[in-house]
Amino acid sequence: MVLLAVLTGLRSLEKQSLNQGKITVIIRTIGSTSSEEHKIDGRTALDIISKNHIIETIKTGSNEMVKCIDDVCAKNSYWWKFFANEKLSLISIDKYYPKDKDIILLEYGEN
């Protein structure tokens, strides 16, 4: 019984720590780069970035891809790439829950 209570408490602390902390968001377009720090607060990367930027997305099945950030829109062979900690993310931006100290990069460029 005591073990169960301890394990339940540890899970609660683990969930709490995943929802807290700060991340760095970098938005890179052709000729311009901005960097911001944000609290996680249990939000997805898309929710966090949408707080300070006008974001337009495209629904692809059950996922969303970034189409436009602050009027810079995907067109022709240019599109928004989503990186988490220097790796192209295999998880869509609307499903990615950042962890403390993550670096999120949205980079506009050619395929």
Cα–Cα distance for residue pair 89/17, rounded to 1 Å:
22
Write the pLDDT tens digit of every residue in 76-104.
999 999 999 999 999 999 999 999 999 99
Please give the residue range of the domain that contains residue 38.
2-110
Residue 1 has pLDDT above 70, yes or no: no
Q: How far from chain centre, in Å, is Cα 19?
A: 13
- Reference 72, options 108, 20, 32; nearest CA is 108
Locate tokens 């609307």: which residue? 94
- Reference 94, options 86, 107, 61, 12; nearest CA is 61
Locate tokens 């901005």: which residue? 34
- Whichever domain contains 69, its CATH number is 2.170.130.30
pLDDT at 111: 79
Number of domains in the chain: 1
- Reference 74, options 58, 90, 51, 60; nearest CA is 58
